[in-house]
Each structure stands twice: as structure tokens, then as C-alpha cells.
């Protein structure tokens, strides 16, 4: 609240898990250790009994936190507010529904799981008692059953099998009542001289917004509680370690403790004190954020498709030079009000590919050509974005929470290595989960889009020229034949290590075969925006060659295919986005 005479809110954030990675570009629904991530975020804007003041910014804290968590790869984020409750009664922040949600999330967890519970609302402590209570929207201060005690929450956390528990509390440490005469006459609340809060049980680190007898402030200019404002900023990366894209529990605590007292004095006067207090019973440290993204929160998927053919940008006509490719990308980005390279919630970079006309396939005289490479004229009428690199293991884990390559042959594990042992069906599931998370429409590229993007205006065997003498600068190839650059490294490599093609795309030649949307067909499809979805063949198109393949299999025109359920160490994919 804007007033300094009383406590505006009680906000509690509980994180449960062992290695707690709220990862912004390489976070996973469960890290490499296999743990999964769940969250409940509760915000109370208005109170039913007219005993406690309404809190205009409690839902702000909850909704912004929820966006951070969704971007960080949590498997599920349950949001409980009056706004969400208007859509479903199960989302109302009532005492009963909050207890049910806590029980549902905390039970049956594994030692590596992470569970987060966030509470934004009032808190009370009664005179002569050390117990502290959370106030749901139906709280009646004379009826303890309508309140949720700190001990109740501690007990559930302690019983959970998750290894480490982190508790963040944004609340006054004195009288939080609204001053309503009827309410004040009903109960006696603890004074500013009450005893310190009870330390959390073993395995829990607790971080409180203020010390004993102090107010916790919220401010109109911030639209948040001051403490929660800096917690969120810290989780977004402001508390990251020097020279590292990581935020640990200790670095977050240090950041918030350094920022809150000065900001409170700035907002409410030099004599005003709010000093966050830290109580640590953790067994070992915790990493909170790794590799923060640069994108804003996701937005809902548009119900209508925006035009992608503005008059101010013209389609490219094949062949064209690298400088013409760059100029076209810039012109289309300007016309669409977008960037040539956009970064999504996974930290995945996507490159704008302008539309145009070109010839798929290889000419009759091309060395090593295959019989299914007969040329076909194609027109692409819409711009689209294509992954700058193949999907990585880290990006896959963020969305899917699985490691299908683990324990398999011909794999090196690491978040920046291309994800393999993923089928066409698996890639479709990844896309279905990524689209609502990002507020965008993702898909696999069609074969025509992949070919256009790979060639980037070139008519040569590779996008860099005719000779395979330069192939090693652009591709990982030829592991087992002794002639490639993966002779002693028989696995898919880190993406983006080789030179990019004229559109700025890496690894279009070699590293992993990449799934396309189309069903395999006897000849290349031609025409406008071709896409093969039917036919006698069940196989799906693969393009680009792999770390295993000889040079000719990494040519721009080389085609391949396999059944949509096949998984192996040679196959991965990159995503396309249409808006």
C-alpha cells in the first residue's frame, strides 16, 4: 500500500527441490538429474469479511511470478487468484482450495523434484503467540480454521520427499489489520515487540521481507511490494553471479538485502526501515537461475493470422547473393515490425526467412546427385522464422522434461549439444507444448522451406560452394569413414560452432538429419507453398545429413526419410514459426 502506518500484505514463496534451476533459456522441467517442476501461486486481491484491506498489487506479484516460472520450464503452474477464480472455482484462493492444491503438489514428490508455492495476501500473528497465519480470501480472524498457519505449511514441506525447501515471505512483522473497528475488537494481534519468527525446519532456507517489528511496504510506482519487486528482478537475472549467467539462492538473498532498505528509504523517508532477514537451514546450496532469456513474458496465441506479405518488401528471386539475402531479411523485418533474429522463452534464436521463388533439387550434372532430386520450381509466399540452430538438449529438457538420449550410443550429453533420439512424433509433441508456452505458432518446416532456407540463394552443391574442401568449416560430418571431422567424436556436436549460411543459419549441413513436416514422396513437390501430407509412403522427410555421413550426404539437395517413430543418434530437428 501507499500508506506507511500498516502492513499491506503477506507474500510467501516456497521452493522445494534439490537443484532448483529457474532456468530462463536452458531450464528444464526437471534438470539433468531428472527432477520435475511444479508450482502453485496464490494471490488475494480482495477479502470477503471486510476485516482486512484489499491489496491492489498482490495479483501483480503472482501473475508476474507465474510468467517467470512458465518461461523457466515448470511442468505446471497453478495460478489461484480471484481473477482466475472467475473462470474456475478451483482457482479461487479459499482456505479449502489452497490446502487441496498444496496437498496435491507436495505429495508423491521425488527427491529431485521441485515444487514452488507462492502466496500473496495478508498475514496475521496473534498476541502472545509465535504462530503466523496466511489469510485466504475467506479468512475470518476469529476462526482459525479459515487461516493457514506457518506450522501447517512447514509440516507439509517437511513431509515432502523433495530435498531442499526455500521460503520467501513478504509480510509485515506487526499489526496487518485494516483498522476496521469491528475487526480490531474481535482479536488481539501481536505488537511490534513480538518475538522473532520461529526458524524453519531442517532443509529449509527462509528469507523474510523485514525484521521483527518492521513494516513490509508496497508502492504504487512499483505496482508490487518492494521486497517482492526485487525478488522478481533477481530471478529475472539481476542477481546473477559475476561473469556467469546464474542466480544462486545466496546471490538472490544478497541482491535483495542490498536493494530493499535503500529503496524503502527513497520511497518512504530516511527514517523508515525495512531490512530483509535470512534464516538458513539448507543442506547445501541451490542454483536458482541459469542462462536468463532476453524475451518478455509470453502472450496468448493470436486468434487471427497477421498479414505476412507487406507491400514494402518484395519476395526474393533465386539465385541471389549473401548481401541480397541480408537486405531482404532486414526489409521484411521492418515491414513486419519484427527483428531479423528473435529470441523465444527458451533462449532459442529464430531467424527471419523472407519469401521468394527458387528451384529445388539438383541439376542433372551435379556430382553425386540422387534420382529423387529432379528439379521443381517453388514459390513461397510468406515469411517465416526458422531456428538458427537445431534444437538442443537443454531446450528439449525445458519443454519436455525428458532425456531420451541418456544412456544411448553415440551421444555426448550437454545442454548445447543437438537433441537426438527424438522421433518425428516426439518433435510434434515438443512443438505442441512450446506453442502455448510462447504464445506463438511453432511447427516443423516443410521440405520446400527447409531447402530454401538451406540454399539461401545458392545453386551450388552446398550453400558455401561446389567443393567439399570447405565442408569442415560449415559442418560436422563423416565420423566413421575416417575422412570427416568427427573421426574420434562420434556423436552430434554442440550447435552453432560452424560457419552460418547466407541467411545466418548454422548446421544446415551435417551434425544431425533434420525432420521436416512432409511425407516422403517420389519426386520433389513444386508449385506455391508445397507440402506433401498424403501418399503411400509412411516415412517423413529428413534433410541435411549428419555427423556420421560422407560429404555427399550433406549436400543442399540430398533427401532422406524414415518412419515417424524412429529414434537414433543421427536425427534431430529445428523448429519453424509463422508468427
What pLDDT, in 10s, does the model give residues 338-353? 999 999 999 999 999 9
- With respect to residue 450, please indicate whether it lies within any of the assigned structural domains: yes
- With respect to residue 306, please indicate whether it lies within any of the assigned structural domains: no
- With respect to residue 308, please indicate whether it lies within any of the assigned structural domains: no
C-alpha dihedral (455, 460, 466, 470), degrees to nearest 10: -10
- With respect to residue 2, please indicate whether it lies within any of the assigned structural domains: no
- Three cell numbers, residue 333: 523485418
Could you tell me if 327 and 284 lie in one domain? no
- With respect to residue 404, please indicate whether it lies within any of the assigned structural domains: yes
Domain boundary among 272, 290, 308: 290
Cis omega (within 30 of 0) for bond into 319: yes
Could you tell me if 325 and 261 lie in one domain? no
Sign of the CA dihedral running 230, 118, 157, 24: negative
Check if the beta carbon of residue 544 is closer than 8 Å to that of residue 498.
no
Pick the closest to residue 240 from 250, 251, 226, 230 (CA basis): 251
CA 43, CA 120: separation in Å to the nearest integer?
4
- With respect to residue 4, please indicate whether it lies within any of the assigned structural domains: no
Give the per-residue pLDDT at 187: 54
Check if the beta carbon of residue 240 is closer than 8 Å to that of residue 289.
yes
Q: Which residue has the cell 482466475?
A: 84
- With respect to residue 549, please indicate whether it lies within any of the assigned structural domains: yes
- Three cell numbers, residue 74: 515448470
Phi, psi of 212 (to 5 degrees): -55, 135
Check if the beta carbon of residue 503 is closer than 8 Å to that of residue 353.
yes
First to last CA, the chain: 40
Q: How many domains does the chain have?
A: 2
- With respect to residue 301, please indicate whether it lies within any of the assigned structural domains: no
Low pLDDT (below 70) residues in the chain: 1-35, 49-51, 72-74, 163-165, 171-199, 202-203, 205, 212-213, 242-243, 281-313, 480-482, 535-538, 579
Could you tell me if 72 and 156 lie in one domain? yes
Q: Please give the C-alpha separations between residue 156 and each of 115, 347, 374, in angstroms, as whole numbers.
A: 12, 35, 66
Could you tell me if 487 and 529 lie in one domain? yes
Which CATH number fits the domain that encloses residue 356?
3.90.1580.10
Could you tell me if 362 and 240 lie in one domain? no
Could you tell me if 253 and 393 lie in one domain? no
Whole-number average pLDDT of the chain: 80
β-bridge mates for residue 462, sequence order: 465
Q: Which residue has the cell 529432379?
A: 374
Q: What 3-state DSSP class applies to 424?
A: helix
Could you tell me if 40 and 115 lie in one domain? yes
Check if the beta carbon of residue 73 is closer than 8 Å to that of residue 115.
no
Q: CB pairs under 8 A, 24+ apart, for 323-329? A: 324/457, 325/456, 325/457, 325/502, 325/503, 326/502, 328/354, 328/356, 329/353, 329/354, 329/503, 329/504
Which CATH number fits the domain that encloses residue 268?
3.40.50.1460
Check if the beta carbon of residue 252 is closer than 8 Å to that of residue 231.
yes
Could you tell me if 326 and 241 lie in one domain? no
Could you tell me if 426 and 283 lie in one domain? no
CA 193, CA 214: separation in Å to the nearest integer?
10
Q: What 3-state DSSP class applies to 82?
A: helix
- Three cell numbers, residue 138: 475467506
Q: Cβ of 255: how many Cβ atoms within 10 Å? A: 19
Q: What 3-state DSSP class applies to 530?
A: coil
Q: Please give the C-alpha separations between residue 101 and each of 80, 81, 83, 363, 572, in angstroms, as whole numbers.
A: 9, 13, 17, 63, 38
Q: Give the pLDDT confidence of 127-158 residue by residue, as tens digits.
A: 777 787 888 899 888 888 999 888 888 788 78
Residues 6+ apart with CB under 8 A from 251: 234, 239, 240, 241
> Which pTM was predicted?
0.51
Q: What 3-state DSSP class applies to 165?
A: strand
Could you tell me if 125 and 61 lie in one domain? yes
Q: Give the pLDDT confidence of 225-244 residue by residue, as tens digits.
A: 888 788 788 888 888 876 67
Q: Please give the C-alpha separations between residue 385 and each of 395, 435, 505, in angstroms, as whole numbers.
A: 17, 14, 11
Could you tell me if 401 and 437 lie in one domain? yes
Could you tell me if 262 and 363 lie in one domain? no
CA 162, CA 113: separation in Å to the nearest integer?
6
Q: Cβ of 196: how many Cβ atoms within 10 Å? A: 13
126 is in which domain, residue-wise?
Answer: 10-290
Amino acid at each position: 500500500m501507499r500508506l506507511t502506518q500498516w502492513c499491506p500484505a503477506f507474500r510467501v514463496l516456497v521452493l522445494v527441490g534439490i537443484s532448483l534451476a529457474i532456468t530462463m533459456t536452458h531450464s528444464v522441467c526437471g534438470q539433468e538429474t531428472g527432477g520435475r517442476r511444479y508450482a502453485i501461486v496464490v494471490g488475494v486481491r480482495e477479502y470477503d469479511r471486510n476485516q482486512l484491506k484489499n491489496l491492489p498489487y498482490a495479483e501483480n506479484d503472482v501473475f508476474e511470478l507465474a510468467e517467470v516460472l512458465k518461461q523457466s520450464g515448470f511442468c505446471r503452474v497453478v495460478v489461484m487468484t480471484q481473477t482466475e477464480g472467475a473462470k474456475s472455482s478451483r482457482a479461487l484462493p479459499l482456505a479449502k482450495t489452497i490446502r487441496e492444491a498444496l496437498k496435491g503438489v507436495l505429495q508423491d514428490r521425488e527427491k529431485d523434484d521441485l515444487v514452488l508455492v507462492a502466496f500473496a495476501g495478508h498475514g496475521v500473528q496473534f498476541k502472545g503467540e509465535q504462530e503466523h497465519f496466511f489469510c485466504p480470501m475467506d479468512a475470518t480472524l476469529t476462526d482459525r480454521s479459515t487461516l493457514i498457519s506457518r506450522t501447517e505449511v512447514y509440516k507439509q514441506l517437511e513431509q515432502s520427499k523433495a530435498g531442499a525447501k526455500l521460503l520467501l515471505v513478504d509480510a509485515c512483522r506487526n499489526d496487518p489489520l485494516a483498522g476496521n473497528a469491528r475487526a480490531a475488537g474481535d482479536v488481539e494481534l501481536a505488537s511490534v515487540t513480538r518475538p522473532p519468527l520461529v526458524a524453519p525446519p531442517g532443509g529449509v532456507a527462509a528469507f523474510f521481507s523485514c525484521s521483527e517489528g518492521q513494516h513490509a511496504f508496497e508502492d504504487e510506482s512499483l505496482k508490487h511490494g518492494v521486497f517482492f519487486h526485487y525478488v522478481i528482478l533477481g530471478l529475472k537475472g539481476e542477481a546473477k553471479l559475476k561473469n556467469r549467467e546464474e542466480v544462486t539462492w545466496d546471490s538472490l538473498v544478497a541482491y535483495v538485502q542490498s536493494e530493499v532498505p535503500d529503496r524503502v528509504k527513497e520511497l518512504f523517508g530516511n527514517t523508515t526501515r525495512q531490512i530483509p532477514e535470512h534464516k538458513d537451514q539448507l543442506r547445501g546450496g541451490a542454483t536458482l537461475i541459469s542462462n536468463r532469456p532476453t524475451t518478455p513474458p509470453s502472450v496468448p496465441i493470436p486468434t487471427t493470422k497477421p498479414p505476412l506479405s507487406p507491400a514494402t518488401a518484395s519476395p526474393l528471386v533465386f539465385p541471389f547473393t549473401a548481401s541480397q539475402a541480408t537486405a531482404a531479411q532486414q526489409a521484411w523485418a521492418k515491414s513486419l515490425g519484427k527483428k531479423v533474429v528473435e529470441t523465444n522463452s527458451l533462449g532459442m534464436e529464430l531467424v527471419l526467412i523472407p519469401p521468394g521463388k527458387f528451384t529445388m533439387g539438383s541439376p542433372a550434372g551435379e556430382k553425386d546427385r540422387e534420382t529423387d532430386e529432379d528439379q521443381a520450381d517453388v514459390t513461397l509466399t510468406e515469411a517465416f522464422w526458422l531456428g538458427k540452430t537445431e534444437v538442443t538438449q537443454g531446450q528439449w529438457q525445458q519443454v519436455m522434461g525428458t532425456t531420451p538420449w541418456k544412456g544411448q550410443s553415440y551421444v555426448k550429453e550437454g545442454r548445447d549439444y543437438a537433441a537426438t533420439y527424438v522421433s518425428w512424433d516426439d518433435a510434434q509433441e515438443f512443438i505442441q507444448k512450446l506453442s502455448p508456452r510462447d504464445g506463438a505458432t511453432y511447427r516443423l518446416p516443410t521440405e520446400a522451406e527447409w531447402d530454401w532456407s538451406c540454399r539461401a540463394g545458392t545453386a551450388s552443391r552446398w550453400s558455401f560452394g561446389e567443393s567439399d574442401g570447405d565442408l569442415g568449416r560449415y559442418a560436422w560430418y563423416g565420423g566413421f569413414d575416417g575422412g570427416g571431422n568427427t573421426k574420434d567424436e562420434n556423436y552430434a556436436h554442440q550447435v552453432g560452432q560452424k560457419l552460418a549460411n547466407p541467411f545466418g543459419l548454422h548446421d544446415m549441413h551435417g551434425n544431425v538429419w533434420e525432420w521436416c513436416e512432409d511425407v516422403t514422396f517420389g519426386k520433389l513437390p513444386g508449385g506455391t507453398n508445397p507440402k506433401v501430407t498424403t501418399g503411400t509412403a509412411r516415412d517423413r522427410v529428413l534433410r541435411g545429413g549428419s555427423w556420421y555421413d560422407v560429404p555427399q550426404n550433406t549436400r543442399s539437395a540430398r533427401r532422406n526419410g524414415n518412419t515417424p517413430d524412429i529414434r537414433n543418434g543421427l536425427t534431430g530437428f529445428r523448429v519453424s514459426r509463422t508468427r
